[in-house]
Every structure is written in C-alpha cells, then in structure tokens.
Structure 1
C-alpha cells in the first residue's frame, strides 16, 4: 500500500516495468487467470461464510459478528480491488497498451480509479487486522476469564466495536490524501495494484513521510499485540489441557475453566493470526526495503498479491478448524444430500 521516494518517481519515468509475471504473453495470461481465480475464490468463500453466520443461529454471537465483518472486508477486495487489476491487464494484452489512467497519478487527471480502489484496499486491510485483533481479545477473555465472558462480551458491544473499526480503518486509509497535498494514488506497474505515491514534487516531504508512517505503525502495533495475546491464550489452554486429566481422575467439577468450544475457537483465531501475519510480512519487508532505497519491483508484486490472497484463506481455516462451521457449510452447499438424510 505504501511506496517511497525514488521508487515513485521512477515509476512515472518508466511506466512499463518488465516484471517476472508479465514479461511474456504466457506470463501475462497466467497472471490474469490467477487474478480471475482469486476473485471467484474470494467471492465464493466469503459468501459461504456470510451465509453460514447469518443463516445459523449458533453463529449469532459476538464471534460470529466479527467473522461476518471480516468476510465483508475480504469480499470488498474481491469485488473492487482485484477486478480493476484484471481490467488493466486484459486491456494491456488486447490493446497492447495500458489504459491511459495507469500512466498518471490521481493528481494529474480529473478522475482516477485508484482514488476509490486504493483506499478500499487499504481500509479493508486495516479492518481485517482490527477484526482479528478483536477476535483475539474476545477469545482470550473466554479462555482466561470464562466466568466473565457473558457479562463482558455482548453482541451490542461487539457491534459498536465493529462499526468503530470500519470508521477508523477507512479514516486512516484516506488520511494521506486528506492531510497532505503531496500524496497521490497511482496504478503501480510493479505491484499491478493501486498504491499510495508521491505527487508532483521530486523530494519526499517530511510531513507526507510522517503521515504514511501511520500505516506500518498501526499494522505492526495491532499485529504484534495480537500475536502476544494469542501466545498468552494458547499457553493458558496448554495448562488447562495438562490439568484436565487430573480434574477428570479426581472427579472435581469446576466452572472456572474454559469450555471445549472456547478452546477450539481460540485455536482457530490463533491460526487466523498466523495466516494473516504470514501474508502481511512481505509487505512489511517491502516497506523497510523502500526506506533503505531498494526498488524491489518483482518483490513488490509478490508482496501485494500474497496479501490479496489472504482474502480467501479464512473460509478454508474455518472449514478445517471448526467442525460446526464445516457441517453448516456442507448442508448449505449440498441441500439434496441434506434432504436425503432427513428422509432416511
């Protein structure tokens, strides 16, 4: 989402970088096929998630609301962000020239698609990070303070937090353009996506730099906190597992331990955190490399698209880790089998 100094100016001087994905016609075709498959996978997976959460009473919980919010953010990537890249790449193959707006940033044309798509991608990424953080908090309370779970975690509070996360995330996404006239958006020929870029001046001003630093600061703070909280929760789960046999052997009953479903859910959120951290790490490396003056054109493509593919991972994680979700999704996708089972 972020590009710095020399890389930005170089892009406008050389608008047609030959990256590893797009140097030959075969590579260009494979790139478009990958993008199209990513769109279908993202739409299918997250629509299934929303259908399961909305259509199953069991998932009408705080955790279910957060998963629905995460699915909506991922859907937005599949509906808005990736299709623009598909259009640009198909236009480049068919017309043998990129659309005119890809050679200019948003300050040089009256309307630039990246003015909409760029903040959507950034905002949805921030929403995803925030939602995973809230899911981690919710599960950590269920694991560490099971007696206080129902009184502290309510659907009303969760709904308010989801609303605030969306408002805050998209405010952060548009803040570079709001607070600095030097920052623009452009379709980057390396990443094949809409990125934040320097506008019409040749030196990166300190004000613009400080504003863009909000992005990695926000991301690293929330992701770091999420990882730490997950480690604490999983350590507590491990201790509960060690004592479970002792409690069973002595027939001691206690209500202060988390339920089995809470433990399973906490492990699922831990897996989500690992997946998102793994997909976001290349972007973090790319930003650091830009700060040090490295161009890394090929790496920027892989970094941004690895992050984009994260939008279709969640339903896979839910299906593998959550048996109830898996059963509900199977019933939704295989209604004929469900009817046959009922008749039998």
Structure 2
C-alpha cells in the first residue's frame, strides 16, 4: 500500500543502468550537445553579422537555431550529468520547470517551422508580392506571436502537470520530466489528463505536420512553372525544410497522440527529437545551403584577417 505523502523529488532512471553503458551515454551525448551548441551558435552568429543573410528566410532560421539551442539545453545537460551520478534525483520544482521549458522551446520550434514554410510559399508562389508581404515588421510580429503562442501552450501544459497528485512511488522511467512519464506516477484517473494532453500537444503536432506537408506539396507543385535553375534552388531549400519537419514531427506525433501507455522505445524516440534533431538541423541547413556556407567563410575569413593584422 502506497503512503499518502506529497512527493518532493523524483528519481530519473535515465537511459542506462550499467556502468559501461552510462559512460557511453556520457561520451555520446556530450558530443551531441557540444555539436548542437557549436552548430547552432555558428548559424546564429553568421546570420546576425552577415550582410548577405538578411532575408526573412534567414531571419526565421536564426530563431529556429535559437529554439534548437534552448530546446536541447532543457534535457541534454541533465542527461549528461546524471549518466555519471549515483543519485539521479530532480526536485519537484525543477521537474515542473523542465516540463515548462521543454514545451516552450519545442512549441517555438514548431511555430518557426510553420513560418519558414509560409516564407517559402510566398517566395515561390507569389514572388511579385514577396517584398510587400514578408516585410521585416511583419516577420517580427510573427515571431512575437510565435513566442506568445508557445508561452500559452507551455502554461497549459504546466497547469496539467501541477494538477497531478503524486503520493508515491517517485521513480520516473525516463531521462527527463514530461507529462507522459509523470502521468504514469499520478495518483488519479489518467483518462481526462491524457485527453487534455492529446488535445493540446497532440493536436498541435498533428495539425502543424498536416499544414506543413500540404504547404510543401503546393509549393513543389507550383515549381513546374519556374525555370530549371529556379526549380533547383527552390527544391534544395524545400527539401531541407521537409527533412527537418519529418525528423521533428514524426517522434512528436508518436509521443503525444496516443493513449496513456508507455513503450520501451519511448526514451529513444524522445532522445531523437529533443537532442538528435537540434544536432542535425545545423548540418542540414548548412550542408545544403550554399549561401550560409559562403557567408560563414566570408565572416570567419574577415575575422581571421582582422586578428592577424593586430
């Protein structure tokens, strides 16, 4: 019989229990996190200081990289530290903060991906009106609305989490705090909370994915009227965006649009979209984008040249 006490801390089981596997987790995810931060910070600095990357597409890419950096930081550092810790505890307040941050930056990434799709739609389908529609003031307003929408979503999620009573046990079979693993420990009827979670996070993920796929189908269909060179450039950009969308939304839909049950692969699926996707995004956007690569070369060439003259 569980004691009816208030839980003040949780124990995160993490990804591995054996000492050797824990060391592997430490090494692998340290590399992933450092790579994520370096890659996204390079994009942020390049877009910020490059004169050639001032279009709305790169304005949104700046915020995608910012969201990626913050999104990965909500889970990766604790996973890395916990992999070498004997006592992997997280306080109730820290757990709730992680839930809030996870959904804030995750939702921001979703909204920025939608804005990038809108930008590509206007640029390819309405090129003559592009400069009028996608003005800097409009882009700034859209980003502000994205932050507000993400904040509202996170508030809704944290309210659900705070309403869950925990009377024991406090062992979370995961490496981070989120509504699904916390729901397993809640001393209450889980049906209504899960229904609210699916109607919030699940609906946002599913509807956003459908909207994005439809928008890119329309964009790709409209490319038949463009020149061969214009088609090639637009296809390269859109392909990068589609890859990012599939990599991010596939795992999200799997986690947030199902009954309140857990599966053995849940932790690895969560790893993929919270740590893997932020790591892959800079690679996808730089390797497939000549403008970003050229801007990086010029920016760092100027930096090195300036330093050598001092």
Check conservation: 1:46, 1:72, Cα contact below 8 A: yes
Which of 173, 189, 192 is residue 175 of structure 2 equivalent to? 192
Check conservation: 2:12, 2:175, Cα contact below 8 A: no
User: Are residues 1:295 and 2:295 paired?
Assistant: no
Distance in 1 between residues matched to 2:164 and 2:301, nearest whole Å: 49
Which of 54, 57, 68 is residue 60 of structure 1 equivalent to? 54
Please name the residue that 1:255 is paired with: none
User: Are residues 1:75 and 2:44 paired?
Assistant: no
Number of corresponding residues: 293
Which of 111, 124, 138 is residue 143 of structure 1 equivalent to? 124
CA deviation string 1:201-226 (max 9, x = no partner):
23115256324421010111111101
Cα 1:118–1:228 shift into 2, 3 Å: same
Cα 1:286–1:172 shift into 2, 3 Å: closer
Report the Cα offset of residue 140 of structure 1. Answer: 0.7
User: Are residues 1:240 and 2:226 paired?
Assistant: yes
Cα 1:335–1:37 shift into 2, 3 Å: farther
SS in 2 for 1:313: helix
The answer for unaligned runs of 5 or more in structure 1 is 1-13, 107-111, 245-258, 340-344
Please name the residue that 1:248 is paired with: none
Distance in 1 between residues matched to 2:207 and 2:244, nearest whole Å: 17
Q: Normalized against structure 1, the TM-score is what?
A: 0.75
User: Are residues 1:218 and 2:204 paired?
Assistant: yes
Report the Cα offset of residue 263 of structure 1. Answer: 6.3
User: Are residues 1:133 and 2:114 paired?
Assistant: yes
* Larger deviation, residues 124-133 vs 178-187: 178-187
Check conservation: 1:136, 1:270, Cα contact below 8 A: no
Distance in 1 between residues matched to 2:195 and 2:176, nearest whole Å: 21
Please name the residue that 2:31 is paired with: 37
Distance in 2 between residues matched to 1:78 and 1:334, nearest whole Å: 29
* Larger deviation, residues 232-241 vs 142-151: 232-241
Please name the residue that 2:5 is paired with: none
SS in 2 for 1:90: coil
Please name the residue that 1:331 is paired with: 298
User: Are residues 1:116 and 2:97 paired?
Assistant: yes
SS in 2 for 1:213: helix
What is the root-mean-square deviation in Å for CA atoms of aligned residues?
3.1
Distance in 1 between residues matched to 2:198 and 2:136, nearest whole Å: 34
CA deviation string 1:59-79 (max 9, x = no partner):
122212111111110111243
Cα 1:269–1:120 shift into 2, 3 Å: farther
Of the two, which has the highest radius of gyration?
Answer: 1
Report the Cα offset of residue 335 of structure 1. Answer: 5.4
Check conservation: 2:175, 2:267, Cα contact below 8 A: yes
Distance in 2 between residues matched to 1:184 and 1:65, nearest whole Å: 42
Report the Cα offset of residue 121 of structure 1. Answer: 1.7
* Larger deviation, residues 128-137 vs 231-240: 231-240
Report the Cα offset of residue 164 of structure 1. Answer: 0.9
Please name the residue that 2:83 is paired with: 89
SS in 2 for 1:295: coil
Please name the residue that 1:109 is paired with: none
SS in 1 for 2:226: helix
Report the Cα offset of residue 177 of structure 1. Answer: 2.8
The 5 Å alignment of 1:93-104 reads 96-99=86-89, 101=91
Distance in 1 between residues matched to 2:54 and 2:109, nearest whole Å: 20
Cα 1:177–1:286 shift into 2, 3 Å: closer
Check conservation: 1:282, 1:303, Cα contact below 8 A: yes
User: Are residues 1:281 and 2:275 paired?
Assistant: no
Cα 1:174–1:113 shift into 2, 3 Å: same
Please name the residue that 1:51 is paired with: 45
Please name the residue that 1:158 is paired with: 139
Check conservation: 2:165, 2:187, Cα contact below 8 A: no
